[in-house]
Amino acid sequence: MTAPSNSPPIVVEQVGAVTVVRFAIPEVLHADVIDSVGERLSALVEDEGRRLLLLDFSAVHKVSSSLLGQIIALHRRLLALRGRLALCGLNSEVRRVFDLCQLPRLLHLCPDEPTALLTLSRDAEAVAGERSG
């Protein structure tokens, strides 16, 4: 199952200081979709200056390992810019893919959006404290 070409694979919303990116399709498997998502995420960081990102996978049932590469690159770019990334809403199948790639050791994987927003807010405060201290 793929998203219709006129339907975006992600929806972006600002929640306070955090940019929430919600996947709007159940399967993120095809290269064209993954490329589109990667380009949009990169634009959020590079062009729009977003530094706190939350990726919400609540609607997703299947992911490709190629998407994981995009997420790792995004995480590294945000760290270099003193930003932060968190993920939430991973169902058991998607979480298993992340676990197999040992991504919980690298990324903030939160059970739900409120927890992820709190995690990112705390991280932002810590980074702000490092800058002023």
pTM (2 decimals)? 0.89
In contact, 28 and 15? CB cutoff 8 Å? no
pLDDT band at residue 4 using 50, 70 and 90 as cut-offs: very low
Q: Could you give the percent of the chain with pLDDT greater than 70?
A: 89
Q: Round to whole Å and give the CA distance between 101 and 92.
A: 14
- pLDDT given at position 5: 53
- Spans of all domains in the chain: 10-128
Point out which residues pair with 15 in neighbouring strands. 18
- pLDDT given at position 121: 87
Dihedral (CA of 41, 55, 8, 48) sign: negative
The upper half-sphere exposure of residue 77, i.e. CA atoms within 13 Å in the direction of its Cβ, equals: 19
**Tens of pLDDT along 97-120?**
999 989 999 999 999 999 999 999
Q: Which CATH superfamily is domain 10-128 in?
A: STAS domain (3.30.750.24)
Q: What is the mean pLDDT of residues 39-44?
A: 97
